[in-house]
Amino acid sequence: MTKSHCFNQYKQPAVTKRAFLLFRIQENSLNIFLLIMAAIFWVYRLVKVFCNVLSYWEIRQFYIKALKIKMVSATPGNLIITCSKRSSKSVM
């Protein structure tokens, strides 16, 4: 075997490869358009989530600094239940 057989024996000029790729892109233009629209949608959703997190953070800072209210996490080990004690005496 010579070196020419180790590589691509069906060598095509680069122009035809580019033309073939352009044809494939044009053939799948609807799929490419839909992928771009999906990417735009998910980037929009990501920006929206980021803005909501920033909004939450600003409100949290306002509660902590201006109103001096501590934020309590409601985890199962740290759950605070407030209930009023009712008297056991019945009213007649």
- How confident is the model over 31-53, as pLDDT tens digits? 899 999 999 999 999 999 999 99
Its pTM stands at 0.51
pLDDT 10s digits, 66-84 = 998 887 766 666 655 544 4
Counted residue by residue, the chain has a size of: 92
Q: What is the pLDDT of residue 24?
A: 80
Residue located via tokens 């033309």: 19
pLDDT computed for residue 83 by the predictor: 47
Band of residue 14 on the pLDDT scale cut at 50, 70, 90: low
Rounding to the nearest 10 degrees, give the CA dihedral for residues 83, 85, 90, 91: -80
In degrees, rounded to 5, the angle at the alpha carbon of residue 20 between the alpha carbons of residues 39 and 35 is 10
pLDDT at 88: 52
